[in-house]
Amino acid sequence: MTGELSPIDKAKFVAAKRAVEFVEDGMRVGLGTGSTAAWMVRCLGEMVREDGLKIRGVPTSTRTAELAREVGIEVITLDEAGWLDVTIDGADEFDGKLNLIKGGGGALLQEKIVATASDQMIVIADVGKEVETLGAFPLPIEVIPFGWQTTKLLVEELLINMDVLGREVTQRMKGDEPFVTDEGNFILDLHLGRIGNPHQLSMVLNQMPGVVENGLFIDICDIVVLGYGDGRVETRDINEGTVEEDRLDFAESDNLFSDMLD
C-alpha cells in the first residue's frame, strides 16, 4: 500500500506511526484534526484492534470523532476525561521554538482547549511545515457571526501596529457559503506573511470582542515528530533539548489506509 503513497503522505504516515509510540495503555488521549492527524487516529485504531491497547480518546472535531469511532477507539468528551495524558495533533506551521500556527482545518478552538488540558502535546508534521518565522500560512481566527464584518475591520486596524508583513483579512468559505465551525462560528484568515512577535499578536487578538480564539499555539507544544518521504523520522523534545533520528520501514502489504488514497 505504501508504495502508492506520495512522499508527503509517506512523511505524514511515518510521523504518525512514531508519535503513537508515546501512547500507553489506559491513557486519555487528545485526538487532533486534519489530514496528518487522521493518519495518527488510524494508527491508534490499529493498535486498539490488533494489540489490545486500551485508551479513551477526546476528539477535537466531529469528523475526528467519527473517524475514531470507525477505527475502534472509545470516544469521550473532555468533561468526562477531566484531564488528558497526551494530545497528538498536526500543525500548519511550526518554528524552532515549537510555536505553531493551527486551524487550517477550522478546528482551532477545540484543538487549543484540548491541547492545553494535556500533560503533553505532540505535534506530527512533514518536513515542509517547518519555518524560520511563523506567518507564511494564513493565521486563522475564530469569530462569532454577530457583527463579524465589524470584527474584521477592527482586526485590520489592529494589524497596522503589529510586526507583520501583510494585513489582508479574508473570510473562509466552503463553496459559496461561509465556513462554519463546530461551534457555529466563522473563520477569518489573516494573510500576514511574517509574524515578528507571535506572543503579542496572540494576546491582542484574543482581547478583541468578537474574536473567540486565534490559531497561534504559543508554548503549548512539547514534542514535534517530523516525517520525511523516505521513511526518516526526527523527534525533537523542546523540554529535554534532544533530537532523535530514526527510519521506519513500510509494510507493503498493509492496507489499513487504502481508503485514504481515494
CATH of the domain at 91: 3.40.50.1360
Model pLDDT, residue 2? 47
Give me the mean pLDDT over the 14-22 stretch: 97
Model pLDDT, residue 4? 79
The verdict on whether residue 89 carries a ligand-binding annotation is yes
pLDDT per position as a tens digit, 81-90: 999 999 999 9
Residue keyed to cell 514534542: 223
Q: Are residues 201 and 117 in the same domain?
A: no
Q: Are residues 163 and 123 in the same domain?
A: no
**pLDDT above 90 (res 158):** yes
Q: How far apart, in Å, are the Cα atoms of 76 and each of 29, 38, 56, 109, 203?
A: 10, 18, 7, 18, 31
The verdict on whether residue 105 carries a ligand-binding annotation is yes
Model pLDDT, residue 258? 53
Give me the mean pLDDT over the 210-228 stretch: 98
The verdict on whether residue 196 carries a ligand-binding annotation is no
Model pLDDT, residue 125? 96
What backbone torsions phi and psi does residue 34 show, to the nearest 5 degrees? Answer: 125, 175
Q: Are residues 246 and 193 in the same domain?
A: no
pTM of the model: 0.93
**pLDDT above 70 (res 257):** no
Give the structural domain span for 153: 139-211
111 has catalytic annotation: yes
Amino acid in the structure at residue 229:
G
Instruction: Name the percent of the chain lying above pLDDT 70.
Output: 94
The verdict on whether residue 176 carries a ligand-binding annotation is no
Continuous H helices in the chain: 7-19, 35-51, 62-70, 78-81, 108-116, 148-159, 198-206
Number of domains forming the structure of the chain: 2
Mean pLDDT of the chain: 94
Model pLDDT, residue 249? 79
The verdict on whether residue 202 carries a ligand-binding annotation is no
Q: Are residues 226 and 197 in the same domain?
A: no
Q: Are residues 63 and 145 in the same domain?
A: no
CA dihedral 204, 207, 213, 219 (to 10 degrees): 50
Give me the mean pLDDT over the 44-73 stretch: 98
Catalytic residue among 111, 130, 168, 240: 111
The verdict on whether residue 112 carries a ligand-binding annotation is no
